[in-house]
Amino acid sequence: MAMDSLFYKHNRERFAAALPDRTAALLFSGEEKHMTLDSDYRFFADRNFFYLTGLECPHFVLVIEKDNGKTMTKIYAPARDSMKERWHGKRMDHSEVAAIAGISPDDVYDLEKYEEKEFELIKNTETSVYLDKSSVMAKPFELLKQIEKAGRKVSDLSEITTSLRLVKQQCEIDAIREAARITEESIEEMKSLIRPGISEYELYLKLEYEMARRSSMSFAFETIVSCGRNAFYLHHSDPEKEGDGIAAEGSIIQVDVGARSAGYCADISRVFFVGAPENSDDKRLKLLELIRSLRKAAFEFIAPGKTFAGLNSQMYDIAGKWLAGQGLIPDNFTEEDVRRYYWHNTSHYLGLDVHDVGPRDREFEAGNCLAVEPGVYIPEWDTGFRIEDDCLVTENGCQLLSSGKDSPEGIIVG
């Protein structure tokens, strides 16, 4: 799945409309990160740069200038170079760059001309400069130091991009839904391997293979497959081949995984029981009943005007009463008592980042996309897990973007 170039063009128009007059905004795709002395990690462009261009290439620069109400947009790209391409791979020509970004080929320039533009903007005191102070890339901060050294103030453009990215357009919602579909299909394929004696490593490989087979090569985050007590390590992303990493009869397998589609993330967690419960007192079943009630309440709660804090408060109240009923915390429990077992927040924004941009104290509004993951972890019971699905905030509530299947559906019998 790929976005139409009009999407990126529209994003730039909305971004430019939010800029004051006599400004220049500069966004950088970023640089490759070294993995070893002679090898780099797979490149992944700055997400705000990608949001405005659709380009996933290193060393690109986007410059948007606004003067007297007129907007000028330029992209600076590395020039075609047969020798460099021989060793480092194909580069796009100007027409290819323009086609993806929704820009005229005449507005794509060789990167070597960028330094002249940068020098001009540093010296031009009548133009205010906007940089992305939220970027994880080095270049914005190198330029920030240069401009501040010249005695000028630099504004933060990420306040604008955050506001734009928070409310998703239909094509973004469709991309998240597609990423969720890929993720859930991959989980379904992996599920057939579950049995006592299977390793986290084997399940992990199966998940990532199935996502890649469905055209998701860059995942939303490091895949998590946790057997048994490894589920108590929330981001257990280094799968084991033996010991605690082997599925045991009577235990659980926690999966937390997300594909990407058109750059957009899914974030889905499922739990599987290894071996059928012998009776209704099985603590896995007891906890599953709680998680299901938390999920139901969470999706009923989410609506425009509600907040993450309000959602967490409701989850703490439901979980607290249940935990007290199990004798794990006192009847007159506090939030601190509940958080001994409810370790992480219930929800977060979802989009180009798996934990997408946006202030946590902002009220939900239609168009927000959220991952919702109530989870309770009880070391005394030797079990704990979360179930997570993705949803869209609508005018009247919320709508699932993933299927909402809260495995086991489906207890896995060894």
**Three-class HEC string of the chain:** CCCCHHHHHHHHHHHHHHCCCCEEEEEECCCCCEEECCEECCCCCCHHHHHHHCCCCCCCEEEEEEECCEEEEEEEECCCCHHHHHHHCCCCCHHHHHHHHCCCHHHEEEHHHHHHHHHHHHHCCCCEEEECCCCCCCHHHHHHHHHHHCCCCEEECHHHHHHHHHCCCHHHHHHHHHHHHHHHHHHHHHHCCCCCCCEHHHHHHHHHHHHHHCCCCCCCCCCEEEEHHHHHCCCCCCCCCCHHHECCCCEEEEEEECCEECCEECCEEEEEEECCCCCCCCHHHHHHHHHHHHHHHHHHHCCCCCCHHHHHHHHHHHHHHHHHHCCCCCCCCCHHHHHCCCCCCCEEECCCCCCCCCCCCCCCCCCCEEEECCEEEEHHHCEEEECEEEEEECCCCEEECCCCCCCCCCCECC
- Give pLDDT, residue 80: 86
Distances (CA, A) of 290 to 39, 255, 302: 48, 18, 18
Q: Write the burial class of residue 239 (CB in 10 Å: 0-12 exposed, 13-18 middle, 19+ buried).
A: buried
- Give pLDDT, residue 412: 52
- Give pLDDT, residue 183: 98
- Give pLDDT, residue 137: 95
What is the C-alpha to C-alpha distance for residues 91 and 2, in angstroms, rounded to an integer?
Answer: 19
Burial 210-220 (b: 16+ CB within 10 A, else e): bbeebebeebb
Where do the structural domains in the chain lie, given as residue ranges? 5-166, 170-400
What is the C-alpha to C-alpha distance for residues 157 and 173, in angstroms, rounded to an integer?
Answer: 24
CATH number attached to the domain at 5-166: 3.40.350.10
Peptide bond into 78 cis (omega under 30): no
What is the C-alpha to C-alpha distance for residues 241 and 245, in angstroms, rounded to an integer?
Answer: 6
Strands 347-349 and 369-372: antiparallel
Determine the angle formed by the axes of helices 94-101 and 5-18, rounding to 10 degrees: 70
What's the token pair of residue 100? 């993806």
CATH number attached to the domain at 170-400: 3.90.230.10
Model confidence, pTM: 0.95
Strand partners of residue 64: 25, 73
Q: What is the pLDDT along the chain (414 residues), one digit of tens a residue?
A: 789 999 999 999 999 999 999 999 999 999 999 999 889 999 999 999 999 999 999 999 999 999 998 999 999 999 988 888 888 889 999 999 999 999 999 999 999 999 999 999 988 889 999 999 999 999 999 999 999 988 899 999 999 999 999 999 999 999 999 999 999 999 999 999 999 999 999 999 999 999 999 999 899 999 999 999 999 999 999 999 999 999 999 999 999 999 999 999 999 999 999 988 878 889 999 999 999 999 999 999 999 999 999 999 999 999 999 999 999 999 999 999 999 999 999 999 999 999 999 999 999 999 999 999 999 999 999 999 999 999 999 999 999 999 988 766 545 544
- Give pLDDT, residue 408: 63
Strands 128-131 and 23-28: parallel
What is the C-alpha to C-alpha distance for residues 75 and 109, in angstroms, rounded to an integer?
Answer: 6
